[in-house]
Amino acid sequence: MADWLTAAAVQDRLGLKPQTLYAYVSRGLLTARADPGDSRRSLYRAREVEALAERRRRSRRPSEVAAGAMTWGEPVLASAITTVQAGRPWYRGRDALLLAETETLESVARLLRGGDGVTLKRSDRPEPPSAGPPLSRAFLALAARAAEASPALGQPALARSAEAALLLDIFADALAAETDSGPIHLRLAKAWRLGPGGPAADLIRRTLVLLADHELNPSAFAARVAASTGASLAASALAGLAALSGPRHGGAPAALARLRAEVLAQGPDAAVAARVAEDRGIPGFGHPLYPDGDPRAAALLARFNPPEDLARLAEQVRATTGLAPNVDFALVAVCDHLGAPEGAALSLFAAARCAGWLAHALEQVQDGGLIRPRARYTGPPPESAPDA
């Protein structure tokens, strides 16, 4: 099969009307590009068409549709915050890659929240926890705020936005272990002794913007579930942080560190070959939403020369599997290039993603009801009810 199909071929394969095909493209289910031979026509990625055809062949019982939606499946709720289309992320309709050229995390956080909070920045913040690693301090800071905060449900929208702006600063304070003024990327650069400005701080800024949100990722969904109960924004952000702490989400830098150790011991060709032969994942490479490569990673890696061992690893993985580095790889490479302290990669990820958690929590409180799916029971049959 060809890599790209005409509209007529797709409509015939899937039994679609032209307007339905357009809707699939707008929802990010199919990728379209201009036909090189006729710019008036579009071509559609064949493997995505086949994936949709396979879904149609399966049983369409509601329980199976719902189960499939839980893992990179059909969209399950409406959101105006972030989408992945045309091979790149968009924040409220604006290209995240272009935003990374000029914006700060704070300005992008306002955009993700819907534009509120421009003049809501406050300086009366509590002193952050000073002991423990950065992630532990962040947990403590959010937990302390959640313990005394009022439920978000019923608060005026402006008050919720003000609280979200304050929480982002409180979170950054905890990661930096000090309360300071100025943009978050400068505060982190200062805390990591990388200077008050310059190329290092700018690279941190770009990284924060590109990682600020990524549609309905696990931590954003966790934040929304908490917010759907009416919980405080601090509690919702805490739920997001709890989800991020898992090895399948925020644990990618640690997994990549283990792979780097294998490369150091065996060489990149043997290490990658062993992973493939043993059907083990290769952390830091590939992404289901970016079959042609993660543009966030490409944008960051274009700003500097990655460490030699990571560059050799990337070459070997691409040669062996065809996979390109994803943003987890780029995040580790950024921190290594900067000489940032241990744990900086996860701190950057968490600081950035906190902006997204708060935006999702605000949207859920404003527009959504309680998130309460049903479970498909697979346990032993219930015992018979006693006779009346």
Copy the structure tokens of residue 120. Answer: 């809501």
Nearest-angstrom CA–CA distance, 312 and 240: 34
Say which of 169, 185, 328, 337 is annotated catalytic. Answer: 328
Nearest to 128 by CA among 164, 163, 177: 177
- Is the Cβ–Cβ distance between 97 and 108 less than 8 Å? no
Say how far apart CA 272 and CA 286 lie, in whole Å. Answer: 14
336 phi-psi bin (left φ>0, alpha ψ -120 to 50, beta other): alpha
At 31, the amino acid letter reads T
**Residue 116 known to be catalytic:** no
Contact between 333 and 286 under an 8 Å Cβ cutoff? The reply is no
Output the CA torsion sign for 267, 272, 278, 284. positive
Active site annotation includes 328: yes
Residue with tokens 């859920």: 364
Q: Which two tokens stand for residue 23?
A: 């809707």
β partners of residue 33:
43
Active-site option among 95, 116, 249, 336: 249
Which amino acid would we find at residue 276?
A: V
Label residues 259-293 b or e (16+ Cβ within 10 Å = b). bbebbeeeebeebbeebeeeeeebbbbbbeebeeb
Name the active-site residue from 287, 294, 337, 360. 287
Number of H helices, E strands in the chain: 18, 6
Task: Using CB atoms within 10 Å of the CB of residue 364, give its burial: 0 to 12 exposed, 13 to 18 middle, 19+ buried.
Answer: buried
Catalytic residues: 249, 287, 328
